[in-house]
């Protein structure tokens, strides 16, 4: 029985993440299922072509099990849910990641294009199979790339049906796409992708799609244009390695280093960086919204470009680069924004600051302005900026891209760099030398504290700051005595009051 015998369903409902293997691959496991709609005009049959539009890069396949509703139902009980399914077949939930930016979540444009929901070729009678023992396989150019079973789903098929039906009526002919397991990836023109569902000896047969290159592009006057970055490439291909991207360095900001940086002042870190030949690692012109704030975290970068009306129309609205970063920042990360030192516009406000706080971000650094400044200052999130400004992005900025090397306050910042801030400013530490710099800064801080005690005791700074050989010997002796005695303070050795 071929896909066209399905008729035209009233609706196609697709599930986001539903397999344990996919959740592990993506690094996030949903607590509850979530859904999106696909238009019925996206349905195709086995053997038809799938078009990758001209000028795009990331056309991704997702082999899935499709359920065809046979009996309408509303508020269906979980134990009765399978009786409402008439058939099972194979599906390929194609998506164009280049078009995710403006409507991520709804997936209207990237997954709703004509031909992006091939189904079939044969239907398996649902009454003859166990919904917990279906097998899904996908091949790309003859190589098996997906192989999983429904007993490894986070949300069993019966639960998905019952959950959807408590919100809307499932009607005869409706199609449910039940999510994809690990292994979904990108296909390019000329590739052939096949999907098959098996239930014991029963099978859907091979659902075959051949990718072709489209000739027409997109009119920039009508809507947002395709855009990709390395984050989209990683998600589309399934991993950084598959996408041909260098492996992201593991975070070098462990708890021990974090504790050291909490004690080390930015001024001391800056001094130690200068000793090592780094003279351009301070983010200049930024100040904390609240005095006494300490900021420590790894950089997550975001870049704004100067406003141009047509570019703002294509990149400024919807789920733009700014919103994507604030909505996906990880715990311990600092969002660092390149705003070209432009103080004439806000680059974030209270809503985005709250979202970053909720996500566990370590803070935000921007060389632009902040809207809702007083409210942001009251939020328990370290924010460093050029100051307050009431304007929104469209006045001076277009949110352009993220997760790349940027310039902020005259400093180059790369994703994963260690960011430290206090009332003296913000500094960027390359991860490979951060611990060495922190250790040296703490050593110097202890030394400066001892010198300050000598100055308070009446000693002149000549020869003491910096210490000459005599004062150095006295300092070393004092430190040795302190370590031997287990004390936190040692009195300075007696002098004649005139210095050495």
For the residues 392-413, what does the mean pLDDT come to? 92
Q: Measuring CA to CA, which residue among 245, 319, 247, 327 is closest to residue 58?
A: 245
Cis peptide leading into 121, omega within 30 of 0?
yes
- Residue 313: the pLDDT is 87
- Residue 269: the pLDDT is 96
- Residue 238: the pLDDT is 87
Q: State how far the Cα of 316 lies from the Cα of 395, in Å rounded to an integer.
A: 11
- Residue 5: the pLDDT is 58
The pLDDT confidence band at residue 388, using thresholds 50, 70 and 90, is: very high
Residue pair 114/161 in contact by the 8 Å Cβ criterion: no
pLDDT above 70 coverage of the chain, percent: 94
- Residue 483: the pLDDT is 60
* 366 DSSP assignment: E
pLDDT beyond 60 at 4: no
SS3 content of the chain, % helix, strand, coil (to 5): 30, 25, 45
More confident residue, 104 or 28: 28
Q: State how far the Cα of 216 lies from the Cα of 227, in Å rounded to an integer.
A: 16
Domains of the chain and any CATH numbers = 3-237 (3.90.850.10), 255-434 (3.50.30.40), 436-485 (no CATH)
Residue pair 408/340 in contact by the 8 Å Cβ criterion: no
- Could you tell me where the beta strands, DSSP code E, fall in 268-359? 282-283, 287-288, 295-306, 333-338
Q: State how far the Cα of 262 lies from the Cα of 295, in Å rounded to an integer.
A: 8
The pLDDT confidence band at residue 217, using thresholds 50, 70 and 90, is: confident
Mean pLDDT of the chain: 90
**Token pair of 367, please?**
């060389």
Instruction: Give the contacts of 28 (CB within 8 A, at least 6 positions apart).
Output: 17
Helix ranges (DSSP H) in 405-491: 434-456, 469-485
pLDDT beyond 50 at 101: yes
131-166 pLDDT, tens digit per residue, is 999 999 999 999 999 999 999 999 999 999 999 999
253-301 pLDDT, tens digit per residue, is 888 999 999 999 999 999 999 999 999 999 999 999 999 999 999 999 9
Residue pair 83/131 in contact by the 8 Å Cβ criterion: no
- Residue 75: the pLDDT is 97
363-372 pLDDT, tens digit per residue, is 999 999 999 9
Beta bridge partners of 13: 37, 176
The pLDDT confidence band at residue 112, using thresholds 50, 70 and 90, is: very high
- Tell me if residue 378 falls in helix, strand or coil: helix
The pLDDT confidence band at residue 104, using thresholds 50, 70 and 90, is: low
- Residue 7: the pLDDT is 77
Q: State how far the Cα of 406 lies from the Cα of 385, in Å rounded to an integer.
A: 16
- Residue 484: the pLDDT is 59
Residue pair 206/194 in contact by the 8 Å Cβ criterion: yes
Q: State how far the Cα of 500 lies from the Cα of 428, in Å rounded to an integer.
A: 39
More confident residue, 283 or 252: 283
pLDDT above 90 coverage of the chain, percent: 71
């Amino acid at each position: 029985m071929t896909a066209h015998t399905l008729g035209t369903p009233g609706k196609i409902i697709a599930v986001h993440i539903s397999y344990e293997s996919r959740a592990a691959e993506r690094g996030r496991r949903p607590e509850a299922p979530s859904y999106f709609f696909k238009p019925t005009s996206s349905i195709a049959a086995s053997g038809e072509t799938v078009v990758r539009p001209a000028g795009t890069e990331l056309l991704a396949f997702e082999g899935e099990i499709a359920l065809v509703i046979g009996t309408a139902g509303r508020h269906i009980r979980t134990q009765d849910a399978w009786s409402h399914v008439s058939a099972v077949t194979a599906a390929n939930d194609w998506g164009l990641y280049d078009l995710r930016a403006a409507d991520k979540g709804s997936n209207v444009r990237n997954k709703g294009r004509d031909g992006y929901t091939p189904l079939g070729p044969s239907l398996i009678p649902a009454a003859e199979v166990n919904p917990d023992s279906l097998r899904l396989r996908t091949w790309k150019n003859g190589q098996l790339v997906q192989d999983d079973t429904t007993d490894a789903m986070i949300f069993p098929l019966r639960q998905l049906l019952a959950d959807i039906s408590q919100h809307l009526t499932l009607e005869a002919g409706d199609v449910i796409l039940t999510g994809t397991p690990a292994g979904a990836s990108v296909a390019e023109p000329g590739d052939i992708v096949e999907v098959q569902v098996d239930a014991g000896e029963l099978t859907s047969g091979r659902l075959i799609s051949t990718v072709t290159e489209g000739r027409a592009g997109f009119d920039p006057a009508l809507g947002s244009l395709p855009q990709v970055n390395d984050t989209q490439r990683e998600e589309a291909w399934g991993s950084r390695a598959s996408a041909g991207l260098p492996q992201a360095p593991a975070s070098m900001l462990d708890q021990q280093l974090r504790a050291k940086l909490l004690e080390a002042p930015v001024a001391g870190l800056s001094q130690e960086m200068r000793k090592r030949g780094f003279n351009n690692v301070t983010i200049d012109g930024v100040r904390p919204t609240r005095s006494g704030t300490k900021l420590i975290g790894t950089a997550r970068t975001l870049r704004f470009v100067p406003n141009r009306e047509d570019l703002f129309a294509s990149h400024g609205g919807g789920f733009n680069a700014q919103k994507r970063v604030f909505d996906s920042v990880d715990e311990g990360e600092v969002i660092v924004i390149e705003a070209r030192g432009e103080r004439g516009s806000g680059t974030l406000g209270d809503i985005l600051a709250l979202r970053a706080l909720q996500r566990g971000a370590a803070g935000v650094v921007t060389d632009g302005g902040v809207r809702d400044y007083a409210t942001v200052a009251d939020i328990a999130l370290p924010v460093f900026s050029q100051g307050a400004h009431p304007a929104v992005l469209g006045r001076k900025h277009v949110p352009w891209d993220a997760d790349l090397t940027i310039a902020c306050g005259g400093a180059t910042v790369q994703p994963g760099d260690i960011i430290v801030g206090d009332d003296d400013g913000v500094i960027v530490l390359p991860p490979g030398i951060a611990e060495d710099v922190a250790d040296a800064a703490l050593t110097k801080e202890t030394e400066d504290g001892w010198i300050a005690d000598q100055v308070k005791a009446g000693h002149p700074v000549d020869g003491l700051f910096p210490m000459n050989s005599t004062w150095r010997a006295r300092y070393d002796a004092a430190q040795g005595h302190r370590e031997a005695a287990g004390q936190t303070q040692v009195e300075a050795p007696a002098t004649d009051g005139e210095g050495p």
